[in-house]
Chain A
Amino acid sequence: MPDRLAYLDHNATTPVHPEVAAAVAAALALGGNPSSVHAAGRAARRAVERARAEVAALIGAEPDDIVFVSGGSEANQLALRGCGRERFIVSAIEHDSVLGAVPEAEILPVTADGVVDRDALARLLAADRRPALVSVMLANNETGVIQPVAELAALAHAHGALLHCDAVQAAGKLPIDWRRLGADLLSLSAHKIGGPQGVGALAVAPHLELRPAQRGGGQEGGRRAGTENVPGIVGFGRAAAIAASAPAENARLAALRDEAERLLRAIAPEARIFGAAAPRLANTLSITMPGVRAETQVMALDLAGVMVSAGAACSSGKVRPSHVLRAMGASAEEAASAIRISFGWSSTPEDVAQLAAAWGALYARAGKGRGEAPAPLPDPPPLAGGVGAPQASAA
């Protein structure tokens, strides 16, 4: 067991901010069903509505625009299947929860830098007059590349299409004004911004009539039934408020990431950094160690107490190369050698140093750099599965 642990997998999930944890614990102790009319119910209702205002403020929305759901996957599903459109255009680098919700969708390609091709969208929109929904994420979870969503939204609207934006990774890391962005629907997740797992939100433009996926008690204005996850929602609100009030955090994360990038490049000048030429989230680094499989890197780093993830997430027990990196033109081999390093509120310069030391040591062991004979590398053991469960992707 190494002396210290460096958690550099914030895009998979962020540790809950201590202030958020305190708010969640207090709300858990409070109790009350927000739909009950007695005092306990009213207190829970007030807590939910305060959180709704905090989450709305993070993206410049009105509280009424916000529908609380169980997380980013549900928000994406609700947006795509609840928008009333039958034609879908989604980018090739969307999260599996978008791609899986609309398997029939037409796919928008991206450039080698990982940016959605605007001209391709114009062509697709012009080719078919049926009203469409276009879904493009604000920032990619693997590369951090930021998409020109405002421009794409304007284009979509000019063709009578709606635009959904999966902002799960971007929220709290980029300032978002959702009206200026022009999205009609926007997905958020709490546990990517220092909030708890199990809660997310869909922002719905007031002009849209959302068709609910889950009906029942009529909660969330009839848009999403089920007793509200009060402590989760309170924690989400708190996390949103903290994120909104910490503009300097981005510069700090950018400095950490840039330093990591500089150190790793110095170790392996031939490494490819995905999305380096495009605008990127300040916290994300997707980098290859050519010839060394991502699982090998991830395991070697884990042994050294550094936690990152393979660029290739897997959902079937066997590893397949990242669809995101492949869409950027990476070869299967290149995509299979990429890892994702993602920083967050708990990250420090010591984490960067630990990462660079561990990655450098692996690079040397793999016989890279100085022309030594490569030391034998163990085959990666099979990934741990759940109870009879195939492994699911983590971000």
Chain B
Amino acid sequence: MSARQPGANDRPVYLDYQATTPTDPRVLAAMLPYFTEKFGNPHSASHRFGHEAEAAVERARAQVAALIGAEPREIVFTSGATESNNLAIKGAARFLRAHSRDAAPRDRIVTLATEHKCVLEAAARLAEEGFALDCLPVERSGLVDLERLAAAIGPRTALVSVMAANNEIGVIQPLAAIGALCRERGALFHTDAAQAAGKIPLDVAAMGIDLLSISGHKIYGPKGIGALYVRRRPRVRLMPLIDGGGQERGFRSGTLPTPLCVGLGEACALAAAEMAAEAARLLALRRRLLDAVTRRLPETQLNGDAERRLPGNLNLAFPGIDAEALLARCPAVAASTGSACSSASIEPSYVLRALGLDAAMAAASVRIGLGRFTTEAEVDFAADALVAAIGDLKGR
């Protein structure tokens, strides 16, 4: 429980945990020695500073692997989830098209309209290269229609990319069912788990996942680091995006940033240890916030499935309210109108539009992300501030 007054001292209440998370002080403490006294290049094979850094990187790799039920050598460190998604999608598709031994070419990609921009853009690049792209709609709940998905995956499908949890509405897709469909039809299954990893249990074996993207800064680790899980049995092959020194088994060249790897590993270990208790705590906070708002503003609508969503996510539509104006009127609450990448642009969220919201409702929606350092007092403060600001806007 924070002793200070929420929203005081010009420090807004931070409710934008899907945009980024503060680095956990325990993560920071684990990282700091690797900037200074243990600074070696993990690829320097010839001296102890290199060995020390390499050992730290490998420990971190094992921590990341353990979070998702993988083996350490199935983890490739990258600069973040955007790179992981690009590497998984372009790398796997390009390799398969060049090397598939199937009778028909594997030249189709299946994905969802609500994927993160970097998945959609990577798929669009493949479309420019001659791949056929099936970008499937989602249900009103934000969930994929499994029958429609099954129909879309055929013998020419190289890759299916469906995110584990959505970054705007927090909706969790049925990964195990999708994995089974892909396995049955011989397509690779990639999931962007930037938002889901560390928040909900993930198991690459049980869910039939071949490629899985992780981001450091969404799970209380540092920015500038991510990971891609690449299945080894049966082996998934990729064409690398960055060539060079051959680091990361040739999947991803470039000196590994030891402190960032250590930070991601520590963040994964903490998330794994605290996931169940933290999920319960966040669910209670989320219920408290939602109740406080809907009690006073019964017309409020929840965007996306109410049950199958990340414990820390809410996405609320306030009919008749311009969300931009609302946030501007509420500077003591740091929330957002959509994903951070596009929040500088004013166009309404394509994710919300894909759920069937009209432009007005999409523009009336606010994403609220709760996380590890969110307190009851902050939630109460934020609910009061939002309700008061909406009252002001309506009264004008």
Contacts and interface: CB of A to CB of B under 8 A. Distances in A.
Contact of A97 (B61, B86, B254): B254
A296 to B, nearest CB: 11
B344 to A, nearest CB: 6
Contacts of A298: 46-47
Contacts of B118: 214-217, 225-226
Given A74-B254, A215-B125, A216-B121, A97 B44 contact: no
B12 A394 contact: no
Contacts, number: 304
Given A35-B343, A77-B244, A29 B83 contact: no
Contact of A216 (B117, B244, B253): B117
B23 interface: yes
Interface in A352-394: 383-384, 386-394
B351 to A, nearest CB: 13
Interface in B296-346: 327, 331, 334-336, 339-344
A214 to B, nearest CB: 5
Quick one: which of A14, A35, A316, A391 has the most chain B CB within 10 A?
A: A35
Interface stretch (A18-26, A52-60, A149-157, A282-290): A18-26
A95 interface: yes
Given A77-B244, A100-B243, A32 B117 contact: no
Nearest to A39: B12
A100 B244 contact: yes
A232 B116 CA distance: 24
Given A198-B257, A226-B82, A38 B335 contact: yes
B45 interface: yes
A389 B73 contact: yes
Interface in B116-158: 116-119, 121-122, 124-125
Given A73-B253, A217-B82, A390-B249, A36 B334 contact: yes
A215 B122 contact: yes
B58 interface: yes
Given A298-B46, A393-B43, A199 B253 contact: no
B260 A232 contact: yes
Contacts of B225: 198, 229
B243 A97 contact: yes
Contacts of B32: 21, 25
Given A77-B243, A215-B118, A217-B117, A71 B86 contact: no
B108 interface: no
Interface size class of A (residues with CB under 8 A): 35 or more
Interface string A6-49: 01010011111010110011001101110111111100000000
A170 B91 CA distance: 32
B177 interface: no
A104 interface: no
B247 interface: yes
Contacts of A189: 255
Contacts of A25: 28, 32, 35
A237 interface: no
A76 interface: yes
Nearest to A74: B242
Contacts of B217: 33, 227
Contacts of A36: 16, 19-20, 334, 336, 340, 343
B334 to A, nearest CB: 4
Nearest to B77: A198
A308 B46 contact: yes
Contacts of A205: none
A95 B249 CA distance: 18
A98 B245 CA distance: 10
Given A9-B44, A198-B260, A231-B224, A73 B255 contact: yes
Interface stretch (B48-56, B168-176, B375-383): B48-56
Interface string B39-75: 1110111111111001001100100000000001100
A6 B78 CA distance: 31
Contacts of A388: 73, 249
A315 interface: yes
Contacts of B86: 213-216
Contact of B224 (A18, A232, A389): A232
Interface of B: 10, 12, 14, 16, 19-23, 25, 28, 31-32, 35-37, 39-41, 43-51, 54, 57-58, 61, 72-73, 78-83, 85-86, 116-119, 121-122, 124-125, 215, 217, 222-225, 241-250, 253-260, 327, 331, 334-336, 339-344
Given A35-B340, A196-B257, 9 more contacts: A5-B49, A13-B255, A24-B35, A29-B25, A31-B21, A40-B12, A70-B78, A73-B254, A225-B117
